[in-house]
Structure 1
Amino acid sequence: MGHNSGEKPRRGRPRDPDAEPRIRRYAVQLLLERGFDGMTVDDVAEAAGVGKATIYRRWASKELLAGDAMAEMFDIEIPDADTGSIAGDLRQVYRDALAFVNTKEGVALIRLAVTEINRDEQFTVFYRNFLQRRIAMTEAALERARKRGEPIRPDADPVLMVQWLAGVLILRALTGEEMPAVEDADRLVAMTMKSVTP
């Protein structure tokens, strides 16, 4: 007679901790190669080496997967910064942003995002939430600066701080105009600082 420890036997394959980042990575790759309509959950699953059920357990639709994958790509390429000064924070974020948008993938992702926002309301909500996260990060950076005693204007607007640079980059991506270079970060930071400090 076998000994029963009271533990339930584990069924199925163990959870793959690397599955989500791998799925997102291949989702972005296929989106850039084929566009939204050409990307399928079947193809993402095959490329990532997972079953479709694994994807649908995490994302209820292809739209949610695509939006999440693109938003994470932006977050990875343009991380939050905490350098010890508001100017330093802006400089790091701007340099990362400019480095990203000066790549073929960066421009393609911006164009894809704009296309999908116009195509599907889900993407509009998703990217509004993504921008809200960026605004919250900027608001936190302003608050840290105030606590350090930096002279931050009381009416410094984190919404406009995010939207003005995003607007420039989106417009240039759509019109094919040359993006600002990474070396332009200091000039763009100086423009932003005029609206942030007295």
Structure 2
Amino acid sequence: MGTNSTERPRRGRPRDPDAEPRIRQYAVRLLLERGFDGMTVDDVAEAAGVGKATIYRRWASKEQLANDAMAELFDIEIPDADTGSLAGDLRQVYRDALGFVNSKEGVALIRLAVSEANRDEQFGAFYRNFLQRRIALTADALERARKRGEPIRATADPVLMVQWLAGVLIIRALTGEPMPAVEQADHLVAMTMRCVSDE
């Protein structure tokens, strides 16, 4: 019997389904170790065990790869929360954030942000993008709370809600003080709720 003439042999190596997460993992690792200037696509490719072409098929530039890798890291470590109350949402996000900043990777990221954000415009943009995503998620949480009838002040500011906690973490990184423990999340939530609630 002859072969089906409509079937064409597949060329090249099969697509590696684990390549993208592995590439992001090593991109983040090299960013934290070397900063944006010191991270190269060549080094990421070597560490991830892929060719440069594999990276460039997915990301058009080093900047896009770094931004995507950092965004995924933040989204994995500090995911959005929708628990049914604003206090519950904040509690979950704060616990995730404090768990992250008390890890070796989290501390390295904050120190990198402090040292690189003003020196390196690309890294500064990555960090601002993360804060803007977190501000947008916080604004959504406030809106959900209002729709549920929670007594949220009209002046509740999602920008300040994000920046005050980020500021605490940055100051601790600068001064070498220990990061707030995960167990302090409830205390931090109570402080925030006093500022945004009419009760």
Q: Under a length normalisation based on structure 1, what TM-score does the superposition of the two structures give? A: 0.88
Q: Under a length normalisation based on structure 2, what TM-score does the superposition of the two structures give? A: 0.88
Q: One-letter code of the match for 1:167?
A: G
3-state SS of the aligned residue for 1:118?
Answer: coil
3-state SS of the aligned residue for 2:118?
Answer: helix
Q: Is the 8 A contact 2:77 2:96 kept in 1?
A: yes
Partner residue of 1:66?
A: 66
Deviation at 1:189, TM superposition (A): 0.5
Q: CA–CA distance in 2 between the matches of 1:34 and 1:41?
A: 13
How much is the aligned-residue C-alpha RMSD, in angstroms?
A: 2.0
Q: Is the 8 A contact 2:87 2:193 kept in 1?
A: yes
Structure 1, unpaired ranges of 5+: none
Cα distance change, pair 111–61 in 1 and its aligned pair in 2 (3 A): farther
3-state SS of the aligned residue for 2:13?
Answer: coil
Q: CA–CA distance in 2 between the matches of 1:162 and 1:9?
A: 54
Question: When the two structures are aligned, how many residues end up with a matched partner?
Answer: 197
Partner residue of 2:23?
A: 23
Q: CA–CA distance in 1 between the matches of 2:53 and 2:118?
A: 29
Q: One-letter code of the match for 2:5?
A: N
Deviation at 1:145, TM superposition (A): 1.1
Identify the range of structure 1 (150-159 vs 114-123) with the bigger mean alpha-carbon deviation. Answer: 114-123
Structure 2, unpaired ranges of 5+: none
Deviation at 1:112, TM superposition (A): 1.3
Structure 1 position 42 matched with structure 2 position 38: no
Q: One-letter code of the match for 2:90?
A: L
Q: Percent identity?
A: 84
Q: Is the 8 A contact 1:70 1:109 kept in 2?
A: no
Partner residue of 1:77?
A: 77
Partner residue of 1:107?
A: 107
Deviation at 1:40, TM superposition (A): 2.4
Partner residue of 1:151?
A: 151
Deviation at 1:126, TM superposition (A): 2.8
Encode CA deviations 1:115-159: one digit per residue, 9 max, x unaligned.
332232223333222211111111111111112111111121111
Q: One-letter code of the match for 1:4?
A: S
Partner residue of 1:189?
A: 189
3-state SS of the aligned residue for 1:56?
Answer: helix
Deviation at 1:94, TM superposition (A): 0.4
3-state SS of the aligned residue for 1:180?
Answer: coil
3-state SS of the aligned residue for 1:74?
Answer: helix
Deviation at 1:30, TM superposition (A): 2.4
3-state SS of the aligned residue for 1:193?
Answer: helix
Identify the range of structure 1 (83-92 vs 118-127) with the bigger mean alpha-carbon deviation. Answer: 118-127
Q: CA–CA distance in 2 between the matches of 1:53 and 1:119?
A: 30
Q: One-letter code of the match for 2:66?
A: A
